[in-house]
Structure 1
C-alpha cells in the first residue's frame, strides 16, 4: 500500500516526507494506522551512525495508532484496537522465554536490523529498498507494520495521541525504577538527567514512595519542572559538585539508588559515586560503543552495585497498561513532558529535542 514516511537518506541529514510502498502484513504481523509517534534520542543513533545502519531508512519507534489489519496467526489483537508500538524481540530465546524480552539474544537484529527477522524488507520505493522495521515498526509514517509481540493493546478511553512514548522512553525511565531498582517507600534516589527518561523515572520514584527524590541536570527549566513533578531536591552540576550535594542531602550516606539517563560518562561516574554502601546505580543512557569509565573498586567491594538497564526491564504487554492506569488516576502525569508537532514538522521537532527546547516531542498525523 502507498504511505507517507519520513525518510533519512544520509548521515546527519534531515528527514524528507516521501511516498513509499509498505508490504501487506504477514501472518504474525499487524498493520497500524498511525495517530502519533514520539521522538526519542535513539532515533538519532542510526542517523548519526552511532550504531551501524543503512540508508535510506525510516525510523520511529514510539508509535500509537489503530489496528487496520491483522495476520492470520495474530490472536491478541483485532481490527479497531487502540495500540502502542514497543520494541521487538524474537520470542524463542532463553531470555524471552523467561520473561525478559528486553534482553533478547537477537535484540539488535530485531530492533536495529532494518528488516524482518528473516532479512526481508518491509517497504520500498519502486525498485529502491527503503529500510524499515526499525524497532519492529518504523513508525515515522502514516502506517506501520508491527509484530504481534511488539504491539500492545491499550484502553480506547485514553488520549491515543499521547500514548506513543510509553513504548520506549517513558517505559524505560519508569521501568528502571519500578521493575529494576525496586525502591521501598521512604528510600532516597538521585536521577542524573531530566529529559523524558529521567523525568519518567522521577514520576515512578514518586509513585513508589521515595522520600528523597533528587534530580540532576544542567537545564534550569527542566529542574524547575522536576520540582513540579515531585523532586524534593534539584542539583545543577554547573553550580555545585553533585556528588557532594547528594552526600549533604542524605546526611553523608549517599543515596540508596541512582540512575544515569543521559549517556554522559562523567555523569555516570558521578551517579556511581553518589550511592551509599550497599547502594545500586542503574545505567540507562547509551554512550558510544566501546566507552569506558574508571571505577573505585574499593567502593564496589562495600556492596555497591552498578547495572545496565534496557527498556526498563519491562514486558510491554504487562507494564504499559500499568502506566496507562496510573496516568488515568492522575498519579503518572507524563503528559507534562510532551510537546506536539505536525508530522510535516519532524525536522523542527528533532531540532527542538536536540537543543533542549522540547522534552518529549510527539508527532501527530492528520
Structure 2
C-alpha cells in the first residue's frame, strides 16, 4: 500500500479535510502518479455539493498532473519518470469508445462520478480502516499520489511546467475543444462565447487560433471581459447591464453569429445563445446545469432558421492527441492559458475554493 495525504469531502457541502490514507496496490492496467499540480474545477464543487449523485467520503480532483512513479504489468503507454496529465476515464470497449468517441463512453458516469475502479470496489483506507472513494474521474488528484488507468494518463513533454498542466485534462480542453474539435469554425467566421470563466476564456483563445474574425465574449464580470479582450475577443457584451444581449450581438454581426459556445450552464443563457445565431448557425452546449434543468427555446426558430444545438463533453477531445497539441500552442505563445491561473499550496485548498467561488480567481491550481 502507498501512504498518501489527501483532501477528503465527507459530507454534502462540506469542507475538504486533510487526511493520511493508504492507496491499495496497482492493478495491471494502472499507473501510480506523484501529483505535482491539480486544477480545481466547478465539477469538483458540483460533486461536493451533491448536485451530481456521487458517493461520499471521496477524494475529489480531476485535473491532475505529475510524474509516473510506478506502472502495472500491462501498461505500455508510459513508464516511470514520464510526465503526465490526467484526464477523464473511459472503458475502451463500449460502442462509442470503439467508434473513436471515448468522451461519450457508455460507462462515463460510473467511471468518472462513481468513485470506484471499473471492475472493483477497492478504495483508499484511512487510519481507522474506513474506506474512502478514491477514483473520481479515475484519478482523485486532490492527493499527493494518485492511481489512474493507462487510458486516462497522457504523456507530455518534460520541457513544459508540469504543475501547470492539469487543467488541460478537463476544463481547458473542454472550452478549447468545443471550438476546435466540435464547432470547427472557418477562418473569417463569427462566434460568441457566453461565460468568461476558464472554459469560456479557453474557447476564446481557441477561436483566435481558428482565425475567427469576430469573437464576442459575454459575461457579467467586467474584469473577466477585459481579460477576454487580452486573450483574443474582438468585442465584449456585459450581460449585467441593461442592453439586450441578443440585439447587441446582432448589431455587431448583422444577422447574428455563425457559432456560439454556451459555457455558463444557465438555461436562459443557452436560449440567448440560440437566438443570437444567424441562419444555419451552430451552438455548442458546454456548461452543465443541475440535472433536470430545461431551457426556454423557440423550436420554430431552430427549425425555420436551420440552427443546430450540439452537446459537447470534454471538448470532443481524444486526450492523447489534443492535450499535447494544446501544450504546443502554449509554448508557441498562441494559447496563454497561464493567464487564467492562480497557484495555491495544496494545504490551502479551502481558501483556494473560497477565492474561486468569490470570483477572485479563474482557475486555481493546487501545487505540491
What is the TM-score when the length of structure 1 is the normalising length?
A: 0.98
Q: Name the SS for the 2:6 alignment partner.
A: strand
Shift of 1:298: 1.6
Q: In 2, distance between residues paired with 1:31 and 1:360?
A: 25
Name the counterpart of 1:16: 17
- The alpha-carbon deviation at position 122 of structure 1 amounts to 3.0
SS at match of 1:138: coil
User: Which residue number in structure 2 is paired with residue 245 of structure 1?
Assistant: 248
Pairs within 5 Å for 1:1-366: 1-125=2-126, 126-239=128-241, 240-251=243-254, 253-301=255-303, 302-365=305-368
Q: Stretches of 4+ moved more than 3 A in 1?
A: none
- Tell me the CA shift for residue 121 of structure 1: 2.5
CA distance in 1, matches of 2:327, 2:182: 19
Aligned-partner SS, 1:294:
coil
User: Structure 1 stretch 289-298 or stretch 34-43: which is displaced more?
Assistant: 289-298
Q: Distance in 1 between matches of 2:273 and 2:106?
A: 28
The SS at the match of 2:148 is strand
Distance 1:242 1:40 in 2: 27
Whole-Å Cα distance in 2 between the matches of residues 106 and 77 of structure 1? 24
* Counterpart-to-counterpart distance in 1, 2:169 and 2:156: 11
Check the 8 A contact 2:285/2:309 in 1, yes or no.
Answer: yes
Could you report, residue by residue, the CA deviation over 1:226-253 in whole angstroms, capped at 9, with x for unpaired residues? Answer: 01111000001121211111000002x1
Measured after TM superposition, the shift of residue 119 of structure 1 is 3.6
Mapped partners of 2:85, 2:251: distance in 1 = 42
TM superposition shift of 1:294:
2.2
Report the Cα offset of residue 24 of structure 1: 1.8
Shift of 1:132: 1.2
Native 8 Å contact 2:86 2:139 kept in 1: yes
For each residue in 1:247-286, what CA deviation from the matched residue of structure 2 results, as whole angstroms up to 9, or x when unmatched?
00002x1000001101011111111111111000110000
Give how far 1:45 is off.
1.3
Question: Take 2:263 and 2:201, find their aligned partners in 1: how far apart are those partners?
Answer: 10
Go from structure 1 to structure 2 and tell me whether the alpha carbon gap of 1:119 and 1:46 turns closer, same or farther (over 3 Å shift). farther
| Secondary structure, counterpart of 1:108 in structure 2 | helix
- Distance in 2, Cα, partners of 1:358 & 1:5: 23
Say which SS state the counterpart of residue 291 (structure 1) adopts: coil
Cα deviation, residue 343, structure 1: 0.2
TM-fit CA distance, 1:124 = 1.1
User: Aligned pairs, how many?
Assistant: 364
SS at match of 2:67: strand
What displacement does 1:354 show? 1.2
Distance 2:299 2:9 in 1: 43
Q: Is the 8 A contact 1:137 1:145 kept in 2?
A: yes
Q: Deviations over 1:155-181 (max 9, x none)?
A: 000111110100000000000000000
CA distance in 2, matches of 1:327, 1:57: 33
Paired residues of 2:55 and 2:114 also in contact (CA < 8 A):
no
Asked if the contact 1:114–1:121 (Cα under 8 Å) also holds between the matched residues in 2, the reply is no
Tell me how far apart the structure 1 counterparts of residues 237 and 190 of structure 2 sit (CA, whole Å): 15
Match of 2:80, SS? Answer: coil
Matched residues in 1 for 2:55 and 2:62: separation? Answer: 17
Give secondary structure in 2 for the equivalent of 1:91: coil
Rounded to whole Å, the distance in 1 between the matches of 2:360 and 2:266 is: 19
User: Which segments of 5 or more consecutive residues in structure 2 lack a partner in the other structure?
Assistant: none
SS at match of 1:16: strand
CA distance in 2 between partners of 1:295 and 1:121 (Å): 44
What is the alpha-carbon distance in structure 2 between the residues aligned to residue 94 and residue 136 of structure 1? 20
Q: Secondary structure at 1:189's aligned position in 2?
A: strand
Asked if the contact 1:185–1:210 (Cα under 8 Å) also holds between the matched residues in 2, the reply is: yes
